Amino acid sequence: MKTEKFKGEIESAYGKPLAEKLKFNGEYEAFTIPDSAKETTLTITTPDGADVITDAVTFGMVYDAVNNKRKAKARQKAMNAALDEAGIEKPTMEDPQVQLQTIIKALVASGRSKEQATELAETTLGVKVAR
């Protein structure tokens, strides 16, 4: 195994643009495979009821998939840490604006216009849409 490092920037969080980009970095442990083994094709026995894989699957493809999953997990953890450090919290249903937007979406989905839904939701919750 070897340690792979990554870095990036967060421009928006939870559906809203950030005032300034947040930088993050991290690392993960990647599995290694010799170049000579990357193109070696796997023999796959599929379980009953499973689709038969007709494409050639190589050891390199499997290692890439596993390493990509490990990197994605580490990247998300690093991004969450950067957001936490900046004091940016994920909106929850305790937030009146989240409640309001949820009700508006439900009313629009049931056939009301956006304006009707907004008016009814604001009246119901006693909260105005933040603009």
pLDDT, tens only, 8-31: 999 999 988 999 999 999 999 999
Q: Do residues 28 and 53 both lie within one domain?
A: yes
The answer to the question of residue 69 being in a domain is yes
Percent of the chain surpassing pLDDT 90: 82
Per-residue model confidence (pLDDT) at position 77: 97
Q: Do residues 53 and 103 both lie within one domain?
A: no
Q: Do residues 80 and 119 both lie within one domain?
A: no
pLDDT surpassing 90 at residue 56 = no
The answer to the question of residue 44 being in a domain is yes
Q: Do residues 100 and 80 both lie within one domain?
A: no
Domain count across the chain: 2
The H or E element spanning position 19 is: strand 16-30
Any idea which residue has 């950067």 for tokens? 82
The answer to the question of residue 91 being in a domain is no
The answer to the question of residue 7 being in a domain is yes
pLDDT surpassing 80 at residue 131 = no
Range of the domain at 10: 2-85
Q: Do residues 18 and 54 both lie within one domain?
A: yes
pLDDT surpassing 90 at residue 54 = no
Per-residue model confidence (pLDDT) at position 75: 98
